[in-house]
Amino acid sequence: MRAKPPLPAHKGLFGRPSVINNVLSFAAIPFILDNGAKAYADFGMGRSRGTMPIQLAGNIRYGGLFETAFGATLGELVDEIGGGTFTGREVRAVQVGGPLGAYFPRALFDTPFDYEAFAARDGLIGHGGIVVFDDTVDMVKQARFAMEFCAIESCGKCTPCRIGSTRGVETINKIINGERVAENLAVIEDLCNTMKFGSLCALGGFTPYPVMSALKHFREDFGGDLGPAPARLQAAE
Amino acid sequence: MSLIQEIDFGTPKSKSEAMVTLTIDGNQITVPEGTSIMRAAMEAGTQIPKLCATDMVDAFGSCRLCLVEIEGRAGTPASCTTPVMPGLVVHTQSERLKKLRKGVMELYISDHPLDCLTCAANGDCELQDMAGAVGLRDVRYGYEGDNHVFAKSNGEANAAWMPKDESNPYFTYDPSKCIVCSRCVRACEEVQGTFALTISGRGFDSRVSPGMSESFLGSECVSCGACVQACPTATLTEKSVIEIGQPEHSVVTTCAYCGVGCAFKAEMRGEEVVRMVPWKDGKANRGHSCVKGRFAWGYTTHKERILKPMIRERIEDPWQEVSWDEAFNFAAAKFKGIQQKYGRDAVGGITSSRCTNEETYLVQKLIRGGFGNNNVDTCARVCHSPTGYGLSQTFGTSAGTQDFDSVEGTDVVLIIGANPASAHPVFASRLKKRLRQGAKLIVLDPRRTEMVESPHVKALHLPLMPGTNVAVLTALAHVIVTEGLVDEAFVRERCDWSEFEDWAAFVAEPKHSPEATAIMTGVDPKDLREAARIYATGGNGAIYYGLGVTEHSQGSTTVIAIANLAMVTGNIGRPGVGVNPLRGQNNVQGSCDMGSFPHELPGYRHISGDAVREQFEAMWNVKLNNEPGLRIPNMFDAAIEGTFMGLYVQGEDILQSDPNTKHVVAALSAMECVIVHDLFLNETANYAHVFLPGSTFLEKDGTFTNAERRIQRVRKVMTPLNGYADWEVTIMLGKAMGFTMNYSHPSEIMDEIAALTPTFTGVSYAKLDELGSVQWPCNEKAPEGTPVMHIGGFVRGKGKFIITEYIATDERTGPRYPLLLTTGRILSQYNVGAQTRRTENVVWHAEDRLEIHPHDAEQRGVRDGDWVRLASRAGETTLRALITDRVAPGVVYTTFHHPDTQANVITTDFSDWATNCPEYKVTAVQISPSNGPSDWQKAYDEQARNSRRIAPVVEAAE
């Protein structure tokens, strides 16, 4: 993982300017060539133009890959396109954007699928993955999973991610064991702040999203005295 | 005196000339474009917390302590990786930044031992400093989690913990203290260019690893010390620091090993050296070092150092320890007696390229003024005398044309007969850095050297047969001339055109083509043509060469051929180009400059010139002989003849280093008084009658002049263990002989040199203290010295093309001696090894080995490690074989670092036609399996043991 700038477009592979494309871009090209840029841009809302291939997964009745214009609400995507949970139980949490996306409760199902709208609610669109959980989910374990995921995937270059993810798993374990829950929640909050703003890349920088959203929206799963909900994380870069 | 704290700017200096102004913490600052915000802040005096950044390597951005806020930009960018932009407004401290930094430090310390009080880095630990700087007061994670700190956790073995690696003799690697900043890994790559280190594992498992989890000693590590210097914690620490503790003061001085002339801080505790740390302001080394200068200084206090003067009547007698006065009187009486009996010219001396300019100057002054003859010579006779001859004939000066910084502007590097990775390692690192940036490399060498095999460097290697340099260089010129690659504008403007025309017609003859000469040289004509085209047309072309050029019967011709190549392509007279002899010894340039040759007074002025000689006569108050004296080989011949009977040898082991050892033994044995002035009872001392204890570079003041003509200070950091610096000993020896030299400090000697030598007029200790160093010529025309010579025109006037006819050496292979032996050096040992063999460096090279191609080995039934007998027409010895395809079939190679090998028993009396520089690099030999040391080696060893006996001193009863 190299610090940027310089961006790959200026200095990339072998130190030369390099174009890096997401497969999503390639998927959009045939339509744009066929129908023109305006036709593509006419889809979507706000600054999020065009379409997005959305991956519906997890505990969902109609899982799969669906391409739709930006702007549908999260509720429409989960309940109408996805048909709710596979188990038939109530949807409790939805992780949007990939393993480092935020967990949204039903209360936020009115959020339109739009970069700015998700960011305004401390979430992200990411690669368009949506993972659905029913009411049997234990959100403190989901928070720990995010830290574990980061620890396993970490390249080890920057300190917040290299050491922070391991300490995150350990600290959440203490919370699960009921050890000094309030103090350890404060540690987690500080750690998430360090990782979010201190990490070199998006792995460490985004791991706080699932952790902090789980804590914010599902505080009851973290045990201890239910103190005031943690302060809202500062906006991402 | 205090400890010199060099400022670490965090990231390297930008070379851009465009300037950028920005605001940091309310202060406006203007820096070159490309400078990092971190460096800009440091230049303005604000130290942004950092751990992974250091100005010896490029920014990395991993520690995340140096985050800053920039107005109008989101987030907290790392100041090390963010370049300055015009008008930026940067804040280095804010509530958010404080919290982030504290958060990062809390993570670091959660996986770090808390043994600061007993840690070797206590007082010199950047982690400790940063914990203090960010105000870390608590580690809320506890210390029970995953860690690399404890061998056991919860009663079980901790798989993440690794034991210390103490395999390197000079430093330890303690993985438990590693903060994975990668500074060592990057230093090994970017500064040293060895790529021995990496980070093994990922994520929390990341840890520094030599090679594939090898030990440091077992890995490709060359022990240059760059990683130790880069380490911000006690993870990589000098064993001397672990043993002694942190230094309390430091003195900048110059390394006494090779001709690179690295500047070091001698970090001291009282008069004890704690460590030698390369000085970043050193203009030759720019903060880098090699295993010798950095670590191999233990010889200075080695128990075998001789600290008391000794005398004996006969070399068969044991040595008698005596007072200094007795020794001087004994020596003076002997020398005077010899002169009375055999004439004034029957004594002489050899100056040392290991000693300071001032000491060398005094020895030649003593010989010319006190002995009354010009029988003075120096070891440059056996290394770079052809350089002096060849370059002064063609260009008009006897030295390299560039400074080492010049390599940073070079596009094509042509290395001829040199292996800087072994013999000039710090320059090699600077060169390799340039090569990794894209400069092209051409290597002319019989062996596939370390330079050819450097990581991330692609070399065009022309493996020529030893002894065919002139043919190959003339073939290169043939291609340049016949393919129309001549820089005609340069030649017409700067060189003698009619001489050029004669030369061009000569090299253009078909018999000099690569195709015609391939049968002699063994070089593929296609490769040779390619090399010529690259050198002539690839941009700035620079030639670096070594003893593989000079130590031949046509050494001077080869130097001339090199000068021709540089002139014909216009590669002279600006940065990035030039002709650069890589001088072997720390002060071999200086010893030549100081008038160590029998025909030249200081400044390369002939002794027969009345005007110059009269200046010296006036200053020295003595009449000088106007006849050149004897060269070293002439001294030996005269000794055997019975006309040369007394020799004063300062700091040189002629017996081991000069060719044809048997001849040298015969000459020394024939002399009536040999005075050896040295640190140790070296091989020459086995035939000496007076031993004057020498002092090390740590024990005296003076100057050394390196391969780039750079004059640098040597500063005394401890009292001489033997009582006197070498310059004082020479003065006292002179006094005993009735020749008075009055100086109370070496600076006075330099003042005298400056007064008598036009190229040194502007040199003084005050100026050296002020500027750090100067490159001669340093005079009214160039008050701060001359980094690049021949700018705008050659020193001699017009550059002179000289025809270079290839004449094969008389040393030929034949049925009895079918192989060609060539000799060289290895990184860890220095020259005859008198110093490095008395350090831990022997772990890398405990003996000289004979490199032999697998094909030649198999034909002779030799297996790797077998003892082999190596015989030439001059003599024979035995050593163990090392089978390798680095040498071509028909070529064998060895080093000459160990006296028990006596590689010079094999080498012959053939020498350069112009300067008598011995032909070390070509000897026809045969090898055969052997059972062990030869009879000669056994007899030599016995004589040496016998000769080194020191008679016990009988203490008088009270």
Partner-chain contact B107 A164, CB within 8 Å = yes
Partner-chain contact B145 A170, CB within 8 Å = yes
Residue B900 binned pLDDT confidence (cut-offs 50, 70, 90): confident
Tokens of A227: 């103190």
With CA atoms as reference, the chain B residue closest to A152 would be B203
What is the reported pLDDT for A225? Answer: 67
With CA atoms as reference, the chain B residue closest to A167 would be B141
Burial (CB < 10 A; 0-12, 13-18, 19+), residue B905, is: buried
Average the pLDDT over B762-772 and give the result.
Answer: 95
Residues contacting B704, CB < 8 A, separation 6+:
B254, B256, B261, B356, B357, B586, B587, B590, B711, B712, B714
Phi, psi of B521 (to 5 degrees): -85, -25
Phi, psi of B250 (to 5 degrees): -140, 155
Digit-coded pLDDT (tens) for A70-128: 999 999 999 999 999 999 999 999 999 999 999 999 999 999 999 999 999 999 999 99
Interface test with chain A among B130, B141, B233, by most A beta carbons within 10 Å:
B141
- The Cα–Cα gap between A33 and A12 comes to 28
- The Cα–Cα gap between A90 and A106 comes to 9
CATH topology for A139-222 is de novo design (two linked rop proteins) (1.20.1440)
With CA atoms as reference, the chain B residue closest to A150 would be B203
Q: What is the DSSP letter of B674?
A: E
Residue B105 binned pLDDT confidence (cut-offs 50, 70, 90): very high
- On chain A, the residues whose CB falls within 8 A of the CB of B233 are none
For the cut 90, the answer to whether the pLDDT of residue B88 exceeds it is: yes
What is the reported pLDDT for A233? Answer: 41
What is the reported pLDDT for B931? Answer: 86
Partner-chain contact B140 A183, CB within 8 Å = yes
What is the reported pLDDT for A185? Answer: 95
Q: How many residue contacts between A and B have a Cβ separation below 8 Å?
A: 106
Task: For residue B141, give how far its alpha carbon lies from the nearest alpha carbon of chain A (Å).
Answer: 7
The answer to which of A74-83, B366-375, B845-854 has the lowest mean pLDDT is B845-854
What is the reported pLDDT for B236? Answer: 97
Average the pLDDT over B743-767 and give the result.
Answer: 95
For the cut 70, the answer to whether the pLDDT of residue A236 exceeds it is: no
Residue B830 binned pLDDT confidence (cut-offs 50, 70, 90): confident
Burial (CB < 10 A; 0-12, 13-18, 19+), residue B634, is: middle
B98 vs A: CB within 8 A: no
Cα B869 versus chain centre, distance: 32
The answer to which of A57-71, B676-690, B885-899 has the lowest mean pLDDT is B885-899
B201 vs A: CB within 8 A: yes
- On chain A, the residues whose CB falls within 8 A of the CB of B59 are 3
Task: For residue A31, give how far its alpha carbon lies from the nearest alpha carbon of chain B (Å).
Answer: 34
- The Cα–Cα gap between B556 and B510 comes to 24
For the cut 70, the answer to whether the pLDDT of residue B415 exceeds it is: yes
The half-sphere exposure of B733 on its side-chain side, counting CA atoms within 13 A, is: 36
Q: Kindly report the number of other CB atoms within 10 A of residue B665's CB atom.
A: 18
Average the pLDDT over A205-212 and give the result.
Answer: 97
What is the reported pLDDT for A205? Answer: 95
Digit-coded pLDDT (tens) for B54-85: 999 999 999 999 999 999 998 899 999 999 99
The domains of chain B, with CATH numbers, are 19-134 (3.10.20.740), 152-301 (3.30.70.20), 318-381+587-771 (3.40.50.740), 385-581 (3.40.228.10), 819-946 (2.40.40.20)
- On chain A, the residues whose CB falls within 8 A of the CB of B201 are 156
Average the pLDDT over B641-657 and give the result.
Answer: 92
Partner-chain contact B62 A200, CB within 8 Å = yes
DSSP secondary structure string for all residues of B779-819: SSS-TT--SS--SSSBTTBSB----------S----SSS-E
Digit-coded pLDDT (tens) for B546-601: 998 998 889 999 999 999 999 999 999 999 999 999 988 899 999 999 999 999 99
Partner-chain contact A162 B145, CB within 8 Å = no
Which of A170, A171, A237 shows the shortest C-beta gap to B74? A237
From residue B97, alpha-carbon distances to A231, B64, B102, B308 in Å are 18, 10, 8, 63
Give the residue extent of every domain in chain A: 44-134, 139-222
Class of domain A44-134: alpha beta
What is the reported pLDDT for A237? Answer: 38
3-state secondary structure A81-145: HCCCCCCCCCEEEEEECCCCCEEEEHHHCCCECCHHHHHHCCCCCCCCEEEEEECCCCHHHHHHH
With CA atoms as reference, the chain B residue closest to A180 would be B140
With CA atoms as reference, the chain B residue closest to A198 would be B64
Task: For residue A189, give how far its alpha carbon lies from the nearest alpha carbon of chain B (Å).
Answer: 11
Partner-chain contact A190 B82, CB within 8 Å = no
Partner-chain contact A3 B75, CB within 8 Å = no
Average the pLDDT over B497-513 and give the result.
Answer: 95
- On chain A, the residues whose CB falls within 8 A of the CB of B74 are 237
Q: Kindly report the number of other CB atoms within 10 A of residue B434's CB atom.
A: 21
Angle formed at CA B325 by CA B322 and CA B331, multiple of 5 degrees: 85
With CA atoms as reference, the chain B residue closest to A199 would be B64
With CA atoms as reference, the chain A residue closest to B73 would be A237
Partner-chain contact B103 A159, CB within 8 Å = no
Residue B246 binned pLDDT confidence (cut-offs 50, 70, 90): very high
What is the reported pLDDT for B33? Answer: 96
The half-sphere exposure of B214 on its side-chain side, counting CA atoms within 13 A, is: 13
Partner-chain contact B103 A160, CB within 8 Å = yes
Residue A138 binned pLDDT confidence (cut-offs 50, 70, 90): very high
What is the reported pLDDT for B955? Answer: 64
Partner-chain contact A167 B103, CB within 8 Å = no
Partner-chain contact B107 A160, CB within 8 Å = yes
What is chain A's percent helix, strand, coil content, to nearest 5? 45, 15, 40
- Pairing mode of beta strands B152-153, B156-157: antiparallel
Phi, psi of B352 (to 5 degrees): -110, 130
What is the reported pLDDT for B917? Answer: 85
Between positions 108 and 167 of B, the ones with CB within 8 A of A are 108, 110-111, 140-141, 145-146
For the cut 90, the answer to whether the pLDDT of residue A63 exceeds it is: yes
Between positions 415 and 474 of B, the ones with CB within 8 A of A are none
Task: For residue B64, give how far its alpha carbon lies from the nearest alpha carbon of chain A (Å).
Answer: 6
SS3 B408: helix
- Pairing mode of beta strands B263-269, B272-278: antiparallel
- On chain B, the residues whose CB falls within 8 A of the CB of A3 are 59-61, 78, 80-81
Interface residues on A facing B, Cβ-Cβ cutoff 8 A: 2-5, 151-167, 170-171, 183, 187, 190-191, 193-194, 197-200, 234, 237
User: In the predicted model, what is the mean pLDDT of chain B?
Assistant: 93
The answer to which of A21-30, A79-88, B893-902 has the lowest mean pLDDT is B893-902
- The Cα–Cα gap between A222 and B49 comes to 36
Which of A3, A162, A199 shows the shortest C-beta gap to B206? A162
Cβ atoms of B145 and B139 within 8 Å: the answer is no
Phi, psi of B175 (to 5 degrees): -60, -20
Q: Kindly report the number of other CB atoms within 10 A of residue A115's CB atom.
A: 18
- On chain A, the residues whose CB falls within 8 A of the CB of B63 are 158-159
- On chain B, the residues whose CB falls within 8 A of the CB of A5 are 81-83
Partner-chain contact A194 B110, CB within 8 Å = no
Give the bridge partners for B249, in sequence order.
B268
The answer to which of B290-299, B475-484, B866-875 has the lowest mean pLDDT is B866-875
With CA atoms as reference, the chain B residue closest to A165 would be B204
For the cut 50, the answer to whether the pLDDT of residue A232 exceeds it is: no
Task: For residue B701, give how far its alpha carbon lies from the nearest alpha carbon of chain A (Å).
Answer: 47
Cβ atoms of B840 and B939 within 8 Å: the answer is no
Q: What is the DSSP letter of A151?
A: H
Task: For residue A115, give how far its alpha carbon lies from the nearest alpha carbon of chain B (Å).
Answer: 17
What is the reported pLDDT for B958? Answer: 56
Residues contacting B22, CB < 8 A, separation 6+:
B28, B29, B31, B37, B40, B84, B85, B86, B87, B88, B89, B90
- On chain B, the residues whose CB falls within 8 A of the CB of A166 are 145-146, 203-204
- On chain A, the residues whose CB falls within 8 A of the CB of B203 are 151-156, 161-162, 165-166
Which of A157, A167, A197 shows the shortest C-beta gap to B145? A167
